[in-house]
Amino acid sequence: METRTLVKNVLNTTYEEIPSSVVEHAKKSIQNWMGVAIGAAYHESMDMVLELKEDLNSGEQVSVLGRPEKVDLLLASLTNGMSSHIFDFDDTHLDTIHHPSGPIAPVVFALGEHYDLEPKELIRAFVLGCEVELRISNAVYPSHYSLGWHITSTAGVFGAAAAAGILLKFDEEQMLHALGLAGTQSSGLREMFGTMTKPFHPGKAAQNGLLAALLAKKGFTSSKQVLEAKRGFASVLAPEYNLDRINENWGTQWELLKNAFKPYACGIVLHPSIDACIKLRDYASVKDVKEIEVTVNPYVLELTGKPEPQTGLEGKFSIYHSATVGFLEGDAGEDQYKDEVVLRPDVVSFRSKVKPTVDPNMQEDEATAKLTLINGEEHTVKIEHATGSIENPMTQEHLDTKFSKLTQPIIGAENGKKVIEKVGNFENLSSIKEVIELCTSKNILV
């Protein structure tokens, strides 16, 4: 059935069969993931999790990006997945609001470093792991997401297990058991959005997926029909689903090519509104503004409707704050989501001038913002496709700048340039350790 067909597709797809365009997009995804992971490496929640290393007497097997510690494979997968989602600045598959790299790349890096695996095989595992999670996401979205599941975590665990299985050279039966073990660990609730637990989700998906594979390698058994069974993943966690989408057009349609990169450090549904408010800066100064009416897709208010955020993290889930900093500062990077900015008097005052409205016909990557001045003058900006969307993508130069801004305070400018260069040539590296060593140990500046 669907699970076995998926396993056959994954195991029978070689590196050579992956189009060069997909390989290039995978490298961009990896660079972007590394940047946001390194940038958040010293967040307080990371400190809390890494304190468990001593509490649990964890071994020292592989690296945590941006930090000097070495931890065991499972803790590395958790922390590297978590850090990449802390800033909400990671990649997004717009069709399903899924962040693909967070659950997959930590597993690829952990096993790649531990076993010093061949870089082309790491790219293959990354690409196919992403395909697994995104195709499963396609099959259950939107009903699964609307029910309250965080799809990055719930579907991501399958991709993490598949990527690990590829690198551990699984046969068909081992991979089936790994996916079964992954599926029974599928979890992550949208109730946690706006707290430290949201970024914990992709980290846990990575950790759970790797654990599933390690157990399967030992001969641990599970259901071989986790996706399609009456009491399996889709039937239990999605009121409506289409499992045909998991394997359709395998090898000709690549979901990873739909992976978009964020210019702003918040949920991607906010990006068109931020774009629009930045453009409105051309028409007035702050003192002349009466209000800004922002018309958006319904998901925007559902996900980001906090009118009075009190922390930077809450600000990332507030269209009121995000539109405000877009207009006041012309950006919505990590600096605009610091606690002190969210609580700054001019920001708090201006937020009351932002008036969001919903239009069910509005696409998720578009928005309209109408600026009304105190003198009655009006200006309207329409964003057809947000910056960072597939139709309006970030360039390699933009990605490099984003990476440098995030990582320079931690690994330094020179190391950052070297990482960009090596990731761009990832398939030809002698070892993934060439990249990891630039981001860890003695190279840490903090």
Domain ranges of the chain: 2-261+396-443, 268-383
Q: Which residues, at least 6 apart from 50, have a Cβ–Cβ distance to it below 8 Å?
A: 64, 67, 69, 71, 75, 79
Percentage with pLDDT > 90 across the chain: 94
What six digits make up the tokens of 103?
């659950």
Q: What is the per-residue pLDDT for 443? A: 55
Question: Per-residue pLDDT for 415 more than 70?
Answer: yes
| Mean pLDDT computed over every residue of the chain | 96
pTM attached to this predicted model: 0.92
Residue 441: how many other CB atoms lie within 10 Å: 13
pLDDT tens-place string over residues 183-202 = 999 999 999 998 999 999 99
Confidence tier at 442 by pLDDT (50, 70, 90): low
Q: Which residue has the tokens 């067909």?
A: 5
Question: Per-residue pLDDT for 421 more than 90?
Answer: yes
Quick check: 213 and 170 in contact, CB under 8 A?
A: yes
What mean pLDDT is predicted for residues 157-179? 99
Question: Per-residue pLDDT for 313 more than 70?
Answer: yes
pLDDT tens-place string over residues 358-378 = 999 998 889 999 999 999 999
Question: Per-residue pLDDT for 287 more than 70?
Answer: yes
Dihedral of alpha carbons 147, 75, 32, 178, sign: negative
Which CATH fold would you assign to the domain 268-383? 60s Ribosomal Protein L30; Chain: A; (3.30.1330)
pLDDT tens-place string over residues 28-85 = 999 999 999 999 999 999 999 999 999 999 899 999 999 999 999 999 999 999 999 9
Question: Per-residue pLDDT for 446 more than 80?
Answer: no
Q: What is the per-residue pLDDT for 48? A: 97
Confidence tier at 150 by pLDDT (50, 70, 90): very high
What is the rounded distance in angstroms from the CA atom of residue 323 to the CA atom of residue 275? 9
Q: What is the per-residue pLDDT for 441? A: 54
CATH class in words for 2-261+396-443? mainly alpha
